[in-house]
Chain A
């Protein structure tokens, strides 16, 4: 992770008031059609922050109507200059900057993110994402094509239409900007369903969308649960595309529903069991630190967690020793408090699952080097945990843990470690640590992962496409490529009396 600049990190907002708790449709705030609300929790204290309107199919239907209306030919949004769409996205980014302290405080409180990280990293990436996408708006080119015949042919990259976007709880703001940024740059309209655990920053962003001047119906936000609001989106007959970030298990359901309903286009960013390969010639300190951040960042709640660490035999013991030392440097507690550098897991379900997997590690014979259980009596905290002597058959080496648990395995030869690294149905990220030019290039080519980091990890940049091989996802987000995922290509062929080259 690139370290934050020497900016002063302010203290979190002391008296954070949650202003926006309703459903956002047509730039207006609505109660749920059913009248129901649902509670939103602070995972550090297990207390309820507030209640939010609970959207279901009826609310999704309302949102789709609004989004469809805003997408009509002749609408303000459809007739707007593309450069103007870019200006609106830049404006939204400026408003995020203005409300940075508020958004970081809210994100920290609701998602359990350590405050300095939320302020410096989450907000930074989110703002950059919007600015990056803003720049693309009037640069989405089609082509004129030298086709056979007396025909003048060109392509148009048009917006797809109404896009449903289902956002996870591990990076609520970042994941929101990754979805709406490209979608709006291309001229689509969207219906966002934030995770039920973390709807608050999405709702504040909705207020900024309105303030920035996006026309009504272009962005709609329907908080609610997966089986209700999420399912309604995946199977809606009038939604043209669904984008989902979350578990592979739910991703499969979404793609199935999309196929069963109207063949809406699907992009998925799912889970991972990403390998990190450390060769004996690597810069050891560099490798230890990046491998560490790679699995412990945000309490291990990242799809790209480096949760299978393969270390070459000759440096294995030293590597384990340094990794354990590193894992002991955490101060757990309320992420809003100063001096805390590890927050809670998001909820009870995750907490239980992680502790269960830790137990399996102990039972199946891995060596527990540190941590190994829950921390504290209140809040969903887990001690930073390191296992060594892990073998490929163990559950902790196969299943996605999504917690602060590091697995360190040994390898002898390069061919073998490549095979083992690829031996998973996941394929999201991978790390390679070596000083050797040839090894770096060959191994990165051989790994079945959508993102391969060499001598670094978690080096996310908004300019680069991100996504998974195999069951870690379909399609890419960000970069030029990610932009095109939000367009539908139309070929126009006009008969002319005579063609000349």
Chain B
């Protein structure tokens, strides 16, 4: 489970545990326009679109709906901000880092506001938004702030009488398309390294969840990033998203979302101008529980691993492989956990699970649940929507799942845990790897050799051993195979946001 540690600075001197943060009541949504050149703009078309609270099914507000002309305007601004001699290009790298630190400071200041907005817009529990999403954002900006003046090229001893060095330059105008499951966090994962390396950015937040991105725009302006460095165009995939992916003046695109759309983005990028592409896509992530595991730990981690964020994580532990000997007990304990999972109003401090994001996702999840029943998996608990509760689904556990069932092959993105059985290590390695996905994997064992063997054998960008969703800004994250291209976070992210230039200076052979 990701770190839950945010209220330390508010610790009471008398030793009582710190008070939980509270959401902002009656929060007014201030920022609903397109953000270009540190200014707020209406859409060129005049159109707006609505954003809803999935918990109450009510409209929160309307937001300016961008389309290609707005993207063009944003790209123009981003290009101008990237010109040689521009304030942004001439800034000391250390100073870029300081701006990122100041942005982190403002995120801390407005943490409760942002967490409230995020909860309204996504339906995720407020405490999760506060302690996981916002914590991750703040740490991400601080981590990359530290890298800004440490992005180093090399001097290289080549053959011949030559001086040779590399410069690690910013790529230029970077497009970023972010998802609705962790709107602000996924944005930070792109914005922080992009700005750290000196790029300028045109962002499209998910149409379901534009609000925190727009609020961030106001903070960008407040910190004092030069105009045009960050631009935000809310809108839809087929319009704004497509315009960004195929824009001839955008030099790189970063996308987090489904594999299906990721393929379209890469295709458009190639067809247009071969812009550099990084993708964070879906997963069908194996969670392998060996007989010698700490069973309680494994059960809890596997549970949070699949149910966290209403199951709406690319890292969802959606294939739990349990070694034969402990299978029965594992299922029993997992069902207990699932039955106890508090589903309800995301603003209630007791809630662990809120609604799914929208009707489309809701329908897809229920359809997959039905397929599980039809194809012969054993429904242990849940299996349907909460009665009378809009987009809420009961935490669902299937046992006796086999590899060919749809629930074992397709990404569900909902609160559904499929549990499968395995006999031996070689078998489970093969089964875990037989998927086009390859985002994460988890292993529960106390045995050193088994741990290292599985870590090496699993075809996943991240392997967690005796933990789950252990994200750290210092460590790279990304997928093998069709779960993505490239890496986010850690030093590795820098490579995705820089372009390497080799400079070779021939010296005069006549000189000493």
Contact = CB atoms under 8 A, between A and B. Distances in A.
Interface of A: 82-83, 86-87, 90, 128, 131-132, 134-139, 141, 152, 414-415, 437-439, 441-442, 445, 462-463, 480, 494, 496-500
Contacts of A139: 146-147, 150, 474, 491
B453 A442 contact: no
B61 interface: no
Contact of A135 (B147, B448, B456, B457): B147
B249 interface: no
Nearest to A496: B452
B93 A498 contact: no
Contact of A494 (B143, B452, B511): B452
B101 interface: yes
Given A90-B101, A135-B145, A137-B146, 20 more contacts: A83-B142, A83-B474, A128-B94, A131-B94, A131-B97, A134-B146, A135-B147, A135-B149, A138-B146, A139-B491, A414-B512, A442-B511, A442-B512, A445-B163, A462-B94, A463-B93, A463-B94, A463-B149, A496-B452, A497-B449
Contact of B491 (A141, A439, A441): A141
Given A463-B93, A497-B449, A138 B474 contact: yes
Contacts of A496: 449, 452-453, 456
B505 interface: yes
B139 interface: yes
Nearest to A439: B511
Contacts of B502: none
B152 interface: yes
16 contacts: A83-B143, A128-B94, A131-B94, A131-B97, A132-B149, A138-B143, A139-B146, A415-B512, A437-B505, A439-B511, A441-B507, A463-B94, A480-B150, A480-B152, A497-B449, A500-B457
Given A128-B94, A438-B511, A135 B453 contact: no
Contact of A438 (B143, B448, B452, B507): B507
A135 B97 contact: yes
B163 to A, nearest CB: 5
Contacts of A152: 452, 456
Most buried by A among B146, B491, B507: B146
Given A139-B474, A494-B448, A496-B452, A86 B507 contact: no
Nearest to A500: B456
A136 B146 contact: yes
Contacts, number: 72
Contacts of A438: 507-508, 511
A135 B474 contact: no
Interface in B455-493: 456-457, 473-474, 491
Q: How large is the interface on B (under 10, 10 to 19, 20 to 34, 35 or more residues)?
A: 20 to 34
B98 interface: yes
Grouping DSSP codes into helix (H, G, I), strand (E, B) and loop, the B interface class, with mixed when no group exceeds half, is: helix
Interface in B133-170: 139, 142-143, 145-150, 152, 163
Nearest to A483: B150
Interface of B: 93-94, 97-98, 101, 139, 142-143, 145-150, 152, 163, 448-449, 452-453, 456-457, 473-474, 491, 505, 507-508, 511-512
A83 B141 CA distance: 12
Top-6 shortest CB links A-B: A135-B146, A438-B508, A463-B149, A496-B452, A138-B474, A441-B163
Contacts of A442: 507, 511-512
Contacts of A128: 94
Contacts of B449: 496-497
Contacts of A480: 150, 152
Contacts of A500: 456-457
Contacts of B511: 438-439, 442
B453 A498 contact: yes
A155 B143 CA distance: 22
Contacts of A494: 448, 452
A329 B453 CA distance: 73
Contacts of A415: 512
A303 B163 CA distance: 29
Contacts of B148: 135
Contacts of A132: 94, 149
Contacts of B150: 135-136, 139, 463, 480
Contact of A86 (B146, B152, B512): B146
The residue among A87, A441, A500 with the most chain B CB atoms within 10 A of its own CB is A441
B138 to A, nearest CB: 11
A129 to B, nearest CB: 11
A439 B505 CA distance: 12
Contacts of B474: 82-83, 138-139
A90 B105 CA distance: 12
B98 A131 contact: yes
A131 B98 CA distance: 9
Nearest to A438: B508
Given A83-B142, A135-B149, A497 B94 contact: no
B219 to A, nearest CB: 19
A498 B101 CA distance: 45
Contacts of A141: 491
A214 B460 CA distance: 39
- Most chain B C-beta atoms within 10 Å of own C-beta, residue among A82, A132, A499, A500: A132
Contacts of A136: 146, 150
B433 to A, nearest CB: 13
A443 to B, nearest CB: 10
